[in-house]
Structure 1
């Protein structure tokens, strides 16, 4: 039986979707542009297969594994269920069943089953509507479609044919594949894989790029989709994305390396300077401090930048592991006393709430700020850090392999929604804690400076328990709890 793709005034398939549905290869993989209707086309094949099984008095089963429970539900609610209802609405509960001798002319969904004839007779049987559940569609003849959140256990337990939806974004894609493929191979079932790309470190990339692996492959980027009738404005989409890497991956289907660092080693090396990181080089200028709060085995990091002309020079990086909160406070007190800190930014996420509250009380609310590490603030800070390094407006210590590894550890990824996010693999030396301390310090320097007045207090420099670094400054530099030998007046 040769497959012909349905179309109708109710359900319209674009040519590349028809090509997907018509392709009856046992193993089939497709890389499609965002907004191109890949899940819709995949649902078209599943419904078509189930309807054919119903007509022929057989049963088929499909399992859809999506990256999350929500996306699995969307695949059913937004594509498969409406399409099934449309088929039944057009067919009006009638199907024709007989031997599979098909009329060879074109047909539409309204006559999806076409003329199934035995001699001059046409057989018609009335069938009931399919039943719909939250994660399942049950066809009256016993065929069934189930949509689940992807996991190795779900892949191991599926039955029948398999659709891996947005497979490049599945967590543990290799383990899922290792569980799913043997089940399909034993049962001679079909496997369909669809996705936009998500870097090179996943099973989707391997399946799509391996030559002569027995897979039928479909590739439709945004330009080809529009050429074949997709009604979108490419220029408007690109402008709205406002991110060239994200555009290249999501719409042009470029293989961006998901393991590529936000800061590459060449950029890091270009910003290294032998005098950076030495506190004795401090020139007495305004400073900006970033603090990444420690959690369990992570590092507690204080990063101090001094503004020298238009350059932010790293004056000191303090990194400690598994120290008490009291010791963290002592270290930060010492930094605030030794430098003219214009602004302090601290990670306020989770356990950072109390340290930030304490710091605001000790150093003043006007120059102390907590930052909640949600996606948008992290991206803003990381972007500012990268731009300062690209413009060579940030100097960092040289010869520190742990620092270089931490700065290189943060990876850029673009998710299903097209939103870029930054992640770092946890390793033996923390969780990119130095990176985020640097980003906090640079972002502190980006903020407008406060206008603050000062007046001298009683205790002069040189008699403050050993903090004599300001002895050579002009009279009026004094020690107070606010730091750098002065107190705030309003």
Structure 2
């Protein structure tokens, strides 16, 4: 708050006040300008519409109301696909919050706050579009985020030196030492994932070299509308099921094909679910969605659930997949290609899912054969990841095409009809 540098960047642990503090600076800057008879213009670029709304409602408006300052609030269509939230003060100062993309970044000449910048899709393209916009002397740029691996523009900015940027770091230990009421050990145990704790709370730059799906790749396919069953449009669905009975998670992943993109509609996770419960959950999915194909983990204890599902829903719709080394390589490769080609959409802001997807690592054995490993912890054994890959595999064959040829009916005797391949029926209605 006391740093008035033109270019300022801060890396905070989760829930340690980065948006609260940054939006307070914006409000104070606008009120100071109004008191001096000037106008200030600020734009908050967030990773998505939901985050932009949170920054406005839980930051800007919260501070203005606490200070008992009047303001007018608007919701406007920035373009056909983007809504912008805006607050206007009596003296004409304005604060706008909207989702970040290269077009929205290019559309303003204003002071800018990049909120959770490490998680923005196309962060490098956004940066290229944005920086010329704030080149006017006196305009301020604020960048805040938790880390999200090394493959994004936030990492480049945060690790730079002697480039005119003022840098700040607040990890969980610093925040608690400064008075934030948090139980560190309770949080660490509750996180249940060393990578998640290291990145989200200790602000470590994780080594992405062995991760099969790095955080930037995961982030690129996140969408606020994914993972919401109520948005199912009735289209064809493909399902992946990872079987578990004891320590790991039982997971059902449902993808709906919308055009050529697989939208996650629902992820069902259960721990220590009985086989009867698992059967009931899968039956419910088949009842609520138009499932064309379902791929299930048939390894070990999966033999009976697969056989039972085939009996209930048909062997043409339910396929068992043995998790051999070759099959796992095929599943993982198909799954990663869907992420790289942006042919899938997954729920945004789900930390457990992000950690699960990032957990899978590819290692090379002594014979040169690739293997996929994932540490087992309280949140599973990359079970959501394998369920997703199974759903992707289910969709890989595309929709079933029914081929047919017309059979012409003839008024002729039975022998001629059979010779010509036509249908024939006697007076009793028997073909």
Aligned to 2:312: 365
Aligned to 1:353: 291
Q: CA deviation at 1:261?
A: 2.3
Aligned to 1:200: 150
CA separation in 1, counterparts of 2:308 and 2:166?
Answer: 64
Within the alignment, does 1:63 sit opposite 2:56 as a pair? no
Contact 1:241 1:247 in 2 (8 A): yes
Size of the alignment, in residue pairs? Answer: 278
Tell me: CA distance 1:416–1:226, structure 2 relative to 1, closer, same or farther (3 Å).
farther
5+ residue gaps, structure 1, are: 1-20, 90-128, 265-300, 302-342, 372-380, 386-393, 425-433, 444-490
Aligned to 1:275: none
Match of 1:235 among 185, 188, 204: 185
CA separation in 1, counterparts of 2:91 and 2:389?
Answer: 64
Aligned to 1:81: 61
SS of corresponding position for 2:325:
strand
Q: CA deviation at 1:187?
A: 4.9
Aligned to 1:418: 351
Aligned to 2:333: 406
CA separation in 2, counterparts of 1:415 and 1:258?
Answer: 20
Contact 2:332 2:389 in 1 (8 A): no
CA separation in 1, counterparts of 2:48 and 2:10?
Answer: 20
Tell me: CA distance 1:67–1:263, structure 2 relative to 1, closer, same or farther (3 Å).
closer
Contact 1:65 1:148 in 2 (8 A): yes
Contact 1:137 1:146 in 2 (8 A): yes
5+ residue gaps, structure 2, are: 76-84, 215-239, 241-278, 296-305, 340-345, 360-371, 374-382, 391-431
SS of corresponding position for 2:97:
strand
Deviations 1:24-61 (CA, angstroms, capped at 9, x unpaired): 10000000010101000001110110011011111111
CA separation in 2, counterparts of 1:439 and 1:167?
Answer: 29
Question: 1:137-152 to 2 correspondence within 5 Å?
Answer: 137-152=87-102
Question: 1:22-41 to 2 correspondence within 5 Å?
Answer: 22-41=2-21
Deviations 1:430-484 (CA, angstroms, capped at 9, x unpaired): xxxx999x946999xxxxxxxxxxxxxxxxxxxxxxxxxxxxxxxxxxxxxxxxx
Aligned to 1:52: 32
Contact 1:169 1:415 in 2 (8 A): no
SS of corresponding position for 1:419:
helix
Q: CA deviation at 1:248?
A: 1.0
Q: TM-score when scaled to structure 2?
A: 0.54
Q: CA RMSD in A?
A: 4.7
Deviations 1:178-203 (CA, angstroms, capped at 9, x unpaired): 01100101354110000001111111
Aligned to 1:131: 72
Question: 1:377-456 to 2 correspondence within 5 Å?
Answer: 396-397=325-326, 403=330, 406=333, 409=336, 416-421=349-354, 422=357, 439=386
Contact 1:261 1:408 in 2 (8 A): no
Q: TM-score when scaled to structure 1?
A: 0.48
Q: CA deviation at 1:352?
A: 8.0
